[in-house]
Structure 1
Amino acid sequence: MAPMPLASSSSKLCSLLILCLAFSRPWTGARRASSMRSSSSGGEPHLLLHGWRLRGVALSLDQSQGSCFRSREKYLYVQIDVEIKLIEGDSAGTVCTIYTISEGPWEIHDEIDLEFLGNVTGEPYTLHTNIFANGVGGREQQFRLWFDPTADYHTYSIVWNPKRILILVDGKAIRDFKNNEDQGVPFPTLWSAEDWATQGGRVKTDWKQAPFVTYYRNYNVTWCRPSPGVAWCGDEPKDSTRFDLDANTLSDLQWVRSNSMIYNYCDDSVRFNATTLPKECTLQ
């Protein structure tokens, strides 16, 4: 297939997928079959095999090191799905992450973040999401999952297309970030966070519980295919309805907002006032 033509700014927007379980600072190590690779970070992922068949990857965290794996490919407009089984028991102070990040200067980087904030035994995980565009983040939304993410694998997805970024859990949409570039809103085309992750940093990591292990499997990437008669995904007419949300997705978003969302930056009156509220909050 011929290379997909890119707009002049899109080289910054081509993103790598990175999955981590680590501490103190983000790590960038990795290892997985043909579509994932490793770079130095200390800890190494463990491959889960069934005979000669790769079943998944286990990331391990102890007091000295964490581990990551990352995609070999860069993506522009894509759906990424991965099944994850989170740390059981006392996971306070740990963060398991899935994120896409653009290569290039940090000051203008783009990033889509899913971070699973560990907790003490019996307390629920928090799913922390954030979106950076042109180096600016601060777009946090947090959710309490409606199931135990340590009991079994669940599917977490990032959908990135020219019109929006959609985050899904088991196929249910939990967050929608629209492309409002025409309104002046930038759009992006596991470390130990014990100082902030668990109850605002009040609960520290119990390293006697180490190693902490998170399991990943069925990593899948679906490229955005251009519409009929269009040269590449992103070149659709502005009035195209291709990437609009259907009634079921809108219903899912409303249900999650009412039942699972515990923080939304757009509703934070302490952090923002009428003059500092991010512009996209007034366009939702």
Structure 2
Amino acid sequence: MIGDLHCHTRMSDGALGVDDLILYARRGGLDFVAVTDHDTMAGVRRAEQLGRRFGIGVIGGAEFSAWDSARGRKVHLLCLLPKRPDRLEGTFRRTLEGRDRAMRESMKKVMRFFPVTEEHILRHAQGAAAVYSVHIMAALRDLGYTESLYGDLYRELLLGPDGSCFVRQEYPDVHEIAGLIRSAGGICILAHPSSYDSIDLMQELAENGEIDGVERYHPRVKEEDIPVIDAVVGQYQLIPTGGTDFHGGNTRHPSPLGSCLTMQEPLERLFRLSKSRN
């Protein structure tokens, strides 16, 4: 029994639609796949229907964007199997509205430098809950200004405060989100702790009992972080999950679906914990 517990679709910034994600998860030999789009569960119901049709288990969830104010860094938390997803909707809505507003401002800035149209960019964003940088870059690639979605032009225009067209977005506090996930009856997993240098935060969240697991297996985990992650997972009896953070080709470092897996024992622990949650 194996599962990939971190996957994105075109509901956020992934390359595949929900239908294709479930189809390829089944063809890839997975028993379970988690649909964890950014700040939305809009694709989960469809994924569950297709999972029943294709004979693959679908774990509903989302990847929350949050802010570690103590360290001044962005952080992601995975919410899996929430019993009361309606409690998440207000935060989803505020985050998505903020993201869409910021990205549309960025889009207007980009349009001052390039003859790309808003309509063209929004075609790439069709079906997504908000506009993402990948949609802007895809339109620029269509017009021949870049061959890479996340290459030099992306860094020049949209990557962080140094990007000429970057517009800052506010994110909710990580501790607030961890509490929200628990109140919704979900499983709270710290996603890819290496990606945002979240090792110190991992220790803090674990000590406070705010997380249930850590995404131990991820394509971009740093070798030097592994012993620390393993030590924290062992000390606090956290669930070590694996997820590819699958975006298809819509990422700097593409990895095939199922590249990083959650094995049977942690899957069973996750399901037992979910069952025990009120």
Q: TM-score, normalised by structure 1?
A: 0.26
Higher helix share: 2
TM-score for the superposition, normalised by structure 2? 0.26
